Structure 1
C-alpha cells in the first residue's frame, strides 16, 4: 500500500496541455480581485500623486 501511494505521488500527470493557460487565467482573476478590492485606495493614491506632479510642474514653469 505504501509503495503504491509513493508511486502515485511520484508519477507525473499525463495530460498537461492547457495547464499553463489555466494558471494564467487564475493569476489574472486574483490580480483583478485584489485591484477591485483596493480600487478606492489605489484611486486616491494615484490622484494624489498626479496632483503632486502637476503642482511641481506648475512651480517649475513659474505659474
Structure 2
C-alpha cells in the first residue's frame, strides 16, 4: 500500500481547514489519529503543516488479513 501523510502540531492532528470571512481560515484539530485527515500528496501536506506551524509525519499503511 502507498504511504499517506498527516500533520501534527504538539499533541494534536490536523483535521480540516475551513474558510471564514475576509480570506481567513479556521483549522480543526483533533487529539485522535483516527479522526485526523490523511493526505496522499506530500507537497500539499507540507503546505498545511507550514500554515499551522506543525510537522508532517508519514503513516505506513499495511494491509492485514482478517
- TM-score over 0.5 (shorter chain): no
Shorter-chain TM-score: which interval? under 0.3
Please give the TM-score of this superposition, normalised by the length of structure 1: 0.21
Kindly indicate whether structure 1 or structure 2 has the higher relative contact order, using CA contacts under 8 Å at least 6 residues apart.
Answer: 2
Please give the TM-score of this superposition, normalised by the length of structure 2: 0.20
Q: Which has the higher strand share?
A: 2
Q: Which has the higher helix share?
A: 1
